Structure 1
Amino acid sequence: MTSGQRKAHKFIWLVLAVAIPIFMFITIKNLDFNRSDDNDITAVKTLNEKFIKTAENDLIKVNVYKKYIEVILKSPLKHASSVVYATSNQGKKGQALGQLTTVGIYKFNITDVPTGLLVYNPLKELEITKLTF
């Protein structure tokens, strides 16, 4: 390395040492890290509300309320792109409600109470599980 390259290398690293923390601060300053308060409030609301219908299998548990459906994913899915659909009376795929990714509780807004629920992988065109209420 020549003396000019050493000076340029030193200058570049000094600029990066100052610029990286500034960019990190700018990117994370608007993120909301206090989500636990919202989850506690919704958990209390969920406990006070009574579900209309419920169904369960070894993969998911579903509670249907007046305005939303709560899907509890018990174990990880083998397919990352799984979509939840409301089913019609004939058991056919209806309105798409949302996507399931990891184990947890998912809430999807609804207008009408469906007769069942279908977890489907649209990429592989594979039906993962189906529940009727």
Structure 2
Amino acid sequence: MENVVLIIHLILALSLIGAVLMQRSEGGGLGLGGGGGGPASSRAAATALGKFTWLLAIGFICTSVSLTIIGAQNASSTSVVDGIDLLPPEGEGATTPDLGDSLLPPSGDDEPLIPSGN
């Protein structure tokens, strides 16, 4: 079921992109300009392509919500981190690496960390 809704969602997304790109530009960004007597009278008449775009947008939102609901129902209550085995394997080949004294701080016999003298 999830795959069917996902395919419909992708078709709606591509159709919505195409419908928006086919619409006539009104000039000016964000509906500014275009002449006329102010914002109340500058509203364009609803075209068939505009109504189709709204229909595609509503379908896109519905499939988005449906995919979210389906995904939430299919989600398991365990985390991915729960499946990771953090313990080293047991057996003959399981040994800890010998890092030597390279990680230990210098003892009193060694050279000082800060050179003396200028």
Larger radius of gyration: 2
Structure holding more strand per residue: 1
Compare the two structures and name the one with the higher helix fraction: 2
Report which structure shows greater RCO (CA 8 Å, sep ≥6).
2
Q: TM-score, normalised by structure 2?
A: 0.31
